[in-house]
Chains A and B, each alone.
Chain A
């Protein structure tokens, strides 16, 4: 019972972190069809800006200011660069953001150096809120959880219930008509891109202090984000949420399972020679392969159900 409770709760915590990371990306892709390879880079920028701001002013101001700065950066990138590339097609947009990823990583190193920076959880949130199953849970972790849930709720309602959200959704599928109705479609795209980047930046502010803020952050977190949005369904916020939690729970469970195929074979009474080459594969425990599982899921999903769980756009 303890184990199940832990698995679910920890899976939820980890999953919501992934959701925060990927919500912006799925929004941008869903709205604009642009797969922003540099999404994790904006996440990293958010963490660095938060570090800088919290050093001089404080964490709470950083929580508001950093995402705004990132939103601005994202909007500028869209307006002056991405827009030019738009006419060359989606592949060109992907390539451009690929180059952008390298550029941001180098810029970060240039400004803040190559060593991890000391971005830490603020003191007033750094205490144990409660204990469960013998493990303490930090107040900051709960704070992050609450904020990420709020993020989802706010985003979802804005997109589906407000006028602005409906305009955004319409501008994707029928840009000419929306434009002829008098809306500034390029401005809409710019705002959406900025918003998506701001979400990544906010995730960076919240997670940078626990994961460690260093220039290689974007490289290590980038791939998992892609998995989330593809599995969830490109463009679907709901899908990103479900996929994140799913992956969170799967990984947490996997790490706790120290069983290998060999255990199963021995369980049913057979045995494989210790010297045999097969042992290499079957000796692997599930916990050892846990981090690859998401990629396996990605590939399977793309092969069998490219729409993802909740997507309505085919990739």
Chain B
């Protein structure tokens, strides 16, 4: 008997807090769902912090719509799919109309699908998804949606930038493809094959490998051996995390001289894990929307970088967070309302300021377009990367810029739009 009452008591007392409805107030809230615990927590927390910084800047400059503040509301998904959905339902309950996310394309997919159903089943209460880092190309192709906006270049665009840069280097003749065997890695592989055939037919693909992902492989020496015997001079890989760090370390330890063209192998966390010697033994080229040490880095952006450093004790890395927030605020102002549908109309085709000319949101598929810079890790830089008071002793050195025209790719998106 006692147990049954305790069970009931637990049930009821635990649920009391959730019947409390939240009041609508004078804030425009953007929910951010990222991992705040678990192995990728640092990535999630850094991104949340970045958005909070830019929101604060906008608020300090007067906010939007006559003084309303933008508030970033963080939710932890611990990189578990059902938690993402659960947190989304919390977001819906708390009447928040904007969601952003980026770590883990599978979670973005969940958000897109769930919001699609929600928006369909609840007209007038639509929720917009501001995608800041989930790069799966299909989100702006067959899965495109009026309420989804992507502020990062997608996989195909990034691979196009990498391949374009590769064609400018005549010493690259043989490339080895190595990727993680899951949706993202496979799409990188597919894009790489296609774009190499289109833009660099003179480069021979001498190896094409898919590995079991997420740190399961401890020993990369066999792969290094395969790369060596293939005679490749370049490795084109979408690997991230330990899969990237261990591959590069193994390559350095075996003294194999090869160029790495990557998206995520050079991110700050990876740099630190690999150390200066490993990071600079072979050129590790990455593609981003900007970086601090680029000679064309505009002065206004340098000011913002300094402010960011003061706020977060870290060097800035993802400029897309800045233009996402700036364009969002501008769209709200132009629409004259915080209603997602009206804001969406404004965001379509909107331009914003970027590190190398304007950035713009293609209306056709809601994909952001901008020039991209290719850089490699180097100690020969003015501003080394700082993270929480630790100086990494290295940062990025520009190899070249790829014009946005070169990475503007056709889309298969057939977007259904609401009536204006």
Instruction: Please determine if A and B sit in direct contact within the complex, based on CB atoms under 8 angstroms apart.
Output: yes
Whether the Cβ atoms of A212 and B388 lie closer than 8 Å is: no
Docked complex: A282-297 residues within 8 A CB-CB of B = 287-292
A-B CB proximity, top 3 nearest: A136-B255, A216-B39, A255-B222
Whether the Cβ atoms of A136 and B253 lie closer than 8 Å is: yes
With a cutoff of 8 Å between Cβ atoms, the chain A residues found around residue B388 in the complex are: 113
10 A-B pairs in the complex with CB atoms less than 8 angstroms apart: A10-B222, A120-B277, A134-B228, A136-B256, A211-B242, A214-B273, A248-B219, A251-B219, A256-B222, A287-B209
Would you give the shortest CB distance from B282 to chain A, in whole angstroms? 13
Binds B, one of A125-133, A152-160, A301-309: A125-133
The chain B residue with its CB closest to the CB of A216 is B39
With an 8 A cutoff between CB atoms, is A138 at the interface? yes
Docked complex: A119-150 residues within 8 A CB-CB of B = 120-121, 126, 128, 131, 133-138, 140-141
Whether the Cβ atoms of A115 and B228 lie closer than 8 Å is: no
With an 8 A cutoff between CB atoms, is A117 at the interface? yes
The chain A residue with its CB closest to the CB of B35 is A114
Known: A115-B272, A137-B253. 11 other contacts (CB 8 A): A10-B225, A114-B45, A115-B42, A116-B273, A117-B273, A136-B256, A140-B253, A211-B218, A252-B221, A256-B222, A288-B211
With an 8 A cutoff between CB atoms, is B181 at the interface? yes
Whether the Cβ atoms of A252 and B219 lie closer than 8 Å is: yes
Q: How many A-B residue pairs have CB under 8 A?
A: 111
With an 8 A cutoff between CB atoms, is B210 at the interface? yes
With an 8 A cutoff between CB atoms, is B411 at the interface? no
Whether the Cβ atoms of A115 and B269 lie closer than 8 Å is: yes
Given contacts A133-B225, A134-B229, A212-B242, contact A291 B42 (CB under 8 A): no
Q: Give the residue of A7, A133, A210, A287 whose beta carbon is less than 8 angstroms from that of B249.
A: A210
Whether the Cβ atoms of B242 and A10 lie closer than 8 Å is: no
With a cutoff of 8 Å between Cβ atoms, the chain A residues found around residue B41 in the complex are: 109, 114
Whether the Cβ atoms of B228 and A135 lie closer than 8 Å is: yes
Whether the Cβ atoms of A14 and B219 lie closer than 8 Å is: yes
Chain A 198-216 interface mask (CB, 8 Å, partner B; 1/0): 0000000000001111111
Whether the Cβ atoms of B225 and A135 lie closer than 8 Å is: yes
Bound together, the chains give a CA A38 to CA B226 distance in angstroms of 35
With an 8 A cutoff between CB atoms, is A220 at the interface? yes
The chain B residue with its CB closest to the CB of A223 is B216
Bound together, the chains give a CA A219 to CA B392 distance in angstroms of 27
Bound together, the chains give a CA A256 to CA B226 distance in angstroms of 7
Pick the most buried of A128, A141, A255: most chain B CB atoms within 10 A of its CB: A255
With an 8 A cutoff between CB atoms, is B80 at the interface? no
Interface residues, chain A, with chain B CB atoms under 8 Å away: 6-7, 10, 13-14, 17, 109, 113-118, 120-121, 126, 128, 131, 133-138, 140-141, 210-216, 219-221, 224, 248, 251-252, 255-256, 287-292
Docked complex: B171-215 residues within 8 A CB-CB of A = 181, 209-212, 214-215
Would you give the shortest CB distance from A31 to chain B, in whole angstroms? 27
With a cutoff of 8 Å between Cβ atoms, the chain B residues found around residue A131 in the complex are: 255
Docked complex: B96-120 residues within 8 A CB-CB of A = none
With an 8 A cutoff between CB atoms, is B317 at the interface? no
Bound together, the chains give a CA A216 to CA B215 distance in angstroms of 9
Would you give the shortest CB distance from B155 to chain A, in whole angstroms? 21
A interface secondary structure, majority: helix
Whether the Cβ atoms of A117 and B216 lie closer than 8 Å is: no
The chain A residue with its CB closest to the CB of B275 is A120
Bound together, the chains give a CA A113 to CA B389 distance in angstroms of 13
The chain A residue with its CB closest to the CB of B39 is A216
Bound together, the chains give a CA A57 to CA B346 distance in angstroms of 59
Would you give the shortest CB distance from A137 to chain B, in whole angstroms? 7
With a cutoff of 8 Å between Cβ atoms, the chain B residues found around residue A116 in the complex are: 245, 269, 272-273
Bound together, the chains give a CA A10 to CA B225 distance in angstroms of 10
Given contacts A114-B42, A251-B219, contact A135 B273 (CB under 8 A): no
With a cutoff of 8 Å between Cβ atoms, the chain B residues found around residue A212 in the complex are: 242, 245-246, 249, 273
With a cutoff of 8 Å between Cβ atoms, the chain A residues found around residue B209 in the complex are: 287
The chain A residue with its CB closest to the CB of B229 is A134
Given contacts A115-B272, A288-B181, contact A14 B221 (CB under 8 A): yes
Whether the Cβ atoms of B42 and A113 lie closer than 8 Å is: yes
Would you give the shortest CB distance from B211 to chain A, in whole angstroms? 8
Given contacts A251-B219, A256-B226, A292-B212, contact A220 B42 (CB under 8 A): no
With a cutoff of 8 Å between Cβ atoms, the chain A residues found around residue B38 in the complex are: 216
Whether the Cβ atoms of A221 and B224 lie closer than 8 Å is: no
Bound together, the chains give a CA A210 to CA B246 distance in angstroms of 8
Bound together, the chains give a CA A200 to CA B85 distance in angstroms of 39
Would you give the shortest CB distance from A181 to chain B, in whole angstroms? 44
With a cutoff of 8 Å between Cβ atoms, the chain A residues found around residue B228 in the complex are: 134-135
With a cutoff of 8 Å between Cβ atoms, the chain A residues found around residue B390 in the complex are: 118
With a cutoff of 8 Å between Cβ atoms, the chain B residues found around residue A216 in the complex are: 38-39, 215
The chain A residue with its CB closest to the CB of B388 is A113
Bound together, the chains give a CA A49 to CA B275 distance in angstroms of 18
Whether the Cβ atoms of B254 and A137 lie closer than 8 Å is: yes
Would you give the shortest CB distance from A244 to chain B, in whole angstroms? 12
The chain A residue with its CB closest to the CB of B393 is A118
Would you give the shortest CB distance from A32 to chain B, in whole angstroms? 28
With a cutoff of 8 Å between Cβ atoms, the chain A residues found around residue B226 in the complex are: 255-256
Whether the Cβ atoms of A256 and B225 lie closer than 8 Å is: yes
With an 8 A cutoff between CB atoms, is B217 at the interface? yes
With a cutoff of 8 Å between Cβ atoms, the chain B residues found around residue A114 in the complex are: 39, 41-42, 45
With an 8 A cutoff between CB atoms, is B264 at the interface? no
With a cutoff of 8 Å between Cβ atoms, the chain B residues found around residue A224 in the complex are: 218
With a cutoff of 8 Å between Cβ atoms, the chain A residues found around residue B219 in the complex are: 10, 13-14, 17, 248, 251-252
Would you give the shortest CB distance from B357 to chain A, in whole angstroms? 33
Whether the Cβ atoms of B272 and A126 lie closer than 8 Å is: no
With an 8 A cutoff between CB atoms, is B75 at the interface? no
Whether the Cβ atoms of A211 and B246 lie closer than 8 Å is: yes
Bound together, the chains give a CA A121 to CA B247 distance in angstroms of 16
Would you give the shortest CB distance from B121 to chain A, in whole angstroms? 35
Pick the most buried of A140, A141, A211: most chain B CB atoms within 10 A of its CB: A211
Given contacts A128-B255, A210-B249, contact A221 B273 (CB under 8 A): no
Would you give the shortest CB distance from B44 to chain A, in whole angstroms? 9
Bound together, the chains give a CA A138 to CA B255 distance in angstroms of 9
Whether the Cβ atoms of B212 and A135 lie closer than 8 Å is: no
Would you give the shortest CB distance from A134 to chain B, in whole angstroms? 5
Q: Give the residue of B253, B256, B387 whose beta carbon is less than 8 angstroms from that of A141.
A: B253
Docked complex: B219-239 residues within 8 A CB-CB of A = 219, 221-226, 228-229
Bound together, the chains give a CA A134 to CA B254 distance in angstroms of 9
Pick the most buried of B41, B254, B256: most chain A CB atoms within 10 A of its CB: B254
